[in-house]
Amino acid sequence: MIFRGIVLLVTLLVVAACGRGGAGGPESAGEPSPDPALVRTAAGMLRGVVADDHRLFAGIPYAAPPLGDLRWRDPQPAPAWDGVRDATAFGPRCMQPLDGDIELGKQTDEDCLSLNVWTPPVRGGEVGEPREAKPVMVWIHGGSFVAGSGGIYDSRRLVSRGDIVVVTINYRLGALGFLAHPALGRPGGVGNYGLADQQAALRWVRDNIAEFGGDPARVTIAGESAGAMSVCDHLVAPGSKGLFDAAIMMSALCQAQLGLPEAEQRSVAYAAGAGCAGPEAARCLRALDANTLRTPVWYYGIGADQLSGPVTGSAALPVAPPDAFAAGDAAEVPVLIGTTRDEWTLFVALQHLRAGKDYEPAEYPGLLADTFGADAPAVEARYPLGAFPDVALAYAATVTDGVLACGGARWARDLGDGADVYFYEFDDRNPPTPDPLRTLPFPVGASHALELRYLFDVGGAPPPDPAQVRLGEQMVDYWAAFVRTGAPRAGGQPDWTEFGPEGRVMSLRPDGSRMSGDFGADHRCAFWDGLR
């Protein structure tokens, strides 16, 4: 409804600005290859690219192409190949809507289940010698489960400065990844095919990452936005048990899954709209041209619109993550979780860019009602329009605080009952931003996804200033330390303590990062917790 299509613009303006990677290569913990550009996997030999500061093996298939009868089925093992497979270019992105696709579908394909392995460089004296296995971070991309890819996250700084291995993955998106039509039933239930792809990628990492110099006993799953919500799901999904040892959730919406009955209802309507109704719906759907399935089943929004993504209530994801967290039924692994200071300003900014106009004061009650339902009057009383410069910033504050900031703090408390949990807030209020976001009538601030360029090499914005460069180095150090040890404690950086009952939060700032106990008060979490 209000946010229909905004997530695609997020991908266009923020994520798609990422640089397309560079070089990389292989290493084997067991029997090292004398050539750092060659590595053998269970399916065959790969040749990657080697650079001075990293190596990259790109476009590696981790599952069979999900085509024909394999469409809307669990991923199957990738077929083996003879000879040496080229791994110097990223594979195609999974099918996604064209209105958020800067390449207009030219680099998308239904055959898209590939991943990319970034490793630290192999020094001259190390070639052919056994090396200590590196911890691994598996990155799950965002894009509201309708857009994005693993190939746009250039991980060279994380692997060179952080001395870890990074794996970025593709997974099925939109209708092809999450259609929950009852005719497509399988043992795990319907829907969640994209989530099953992520699990298949994690099994590939378990079975193959040692050949790249990675340690399969030290695997951290990580993601931002929809990628972070995926991590929420893996913390409670039965099929993900034992596939990872730590978790990073950046701007997670752990509560945004749809229940299976409503997901099935919407999926049946979607199939009927595509001409596939009745008892032959499954056969009909599998016969459709993939281009007719680019449009997601539903777009993400808060309130009336729901998520084109994971659904709860089946064997694959029996319980909603927040409920499992509260019951103590999540994986007991170290967790790094956090938000940005001004999460939702990006979304109201993109709404402004799409519509070419600002929200009017008369629209404010309707915005709140669409988002918060019966709680809207209480929210408006707590966030009166007169306390903000304009409607956009008032509304952004409500969603930032009520949905992301205080939701994240609740999940941190619940998860902290069984594991070590570390919380952060990214608080650079003037980060490098893509061109369109610099023309707004209000500041976008430290908003959703803008912290990604501090971890990954990203283009499309002015270069960071020296203080922002230092903050990026600090964040890489913290994230890499967490991947290595389960605690974001890095030498030469401010000490980062656990979230704990006191709600201690690391405020990541270019003028000096520091621990803070003000997060709950700043985001009015006592008020939001009282609405539950």
Whole-number Å distance between alpha carbons of 420 and 426: 20
Q: Where are the domains of the chain?
A: 9-324, 334-530
- Options 3.90.1150.10, 3.40.50.1820, 3.40.190.10, 3.40.50.720; CATH for 9-324 is 3.40.50.1820
User: For the segment 255-305, what is each residue's pLDDT rounded down to a tens digit?
Assistant: 888 899 988 988 998 899 899 999 999 999 999 999 989 877 653 333 334
Do the beta carbons of residue 216 and residue 293 sit within 8 Å?
no
pLDDT at res. 303: 34
Confidence (pLDDT) at 101? 55
For residue 224, the tally of other CB atoms under 10 A from its CB is 28
Q: What pLDDT was estimated at residue 302?
A: 33
CATH of range 334-530; options 3.10.180.10, 3.30.70.260, 3.40.50.1820, 3.40.190.10? 3.40.50.1820
pLDDT at 306: 44
Closest CA to 39 of 103, 106, 155, 117: 117
User: pTM of the full predicted structure?
Assistant: 0.92
Looking at the DSSP bridge assignments, the partners of residue 84 are 45
Strands (E), 331-460: 335-340, 421-426
Phi, psi of 307 (to 5 degrees): -100, 130
* Three-state SS at 436: helix
**Residue 516 annotated as catalytic:** no
Residue-level pLDDT, tens digit, the chain, 532 residues: 333 334 444 544 544 444 433 333 333 334 455 799 999 999 999 999 999 999 999 999 999 999 999 999 999 999 999 999 999 999 999 999 876 555 555 689 999 999 999 999 987 555 556 678 999 999 999 998 988 999 999 999 999 999 999 999 999 999 999 999 999 987 778 899 999 999 999 999 999 999 999 999 999 999 999 999 999 999 999 999 999 999 999 999 998 888 999 889 889 988 998 999 999 999 999 999 999 898 776 533 333 344 468 999 989 999 999 999 999 999 999 999 999 999 999 989 988 887 777 899 999 999 999 999 999 999 999 999 999 999 999 999 999 999 999 999 999 999 999 899 999 999 999 999 988 888 888 999 999 999 999 999 977 788 999 999 999 999 999 999 999 999 999 999 999 999 999 999 999 999 999 999 999 999 999 999 999 7
Q: Is 141 a catalytic residue?
A: no
Q: What is the DSSP code (8-state) at residue 111?
A: -
Measured between alpha carbons, how far is 186 from 251 in angstroms, rounded to an integer? 31
Pairing of strands 134-140, 214-224: parallel
**Interatomic CA distance for residues 329 and 375, integer angstroms:** 29
| Distance, C-alpha 251 to centroid of its chain | 9
Among candidate residues 331, 304, 346, 323, the one with its CA nearest the CA of residue 452: 346
Q: Is 54 a known active-site residue? A: no
Measured CA to CA, the distance from residue 163 to residue 101 in angstroms comes to 33
Annotated catalytic residue, options 343, 380, 425, 451: 343
What pLDDT, in 10s, does the model give residues 103-139? 555 689 999 999 999 999 987 555 556 678 999 999 9
**Hey, do 9-324 and 334-530 end up sharing a CATH topology, with the first three levels equal?**
yes
CB 120 within 8 A of CB 214: no
Cα 215 to Cα 205: distance, rounded to the nearest angstrom: 9
Pick the catalytic residue: 181, 234, 448, 523?
Answer: 448
Q: Which of 149, 225, 251, 507 is catalytic?
A: 225
394 with 366: CB under 8 angstroms? no
Tokens representing 400 are 């930032």
pLDDT of residue 188: 72
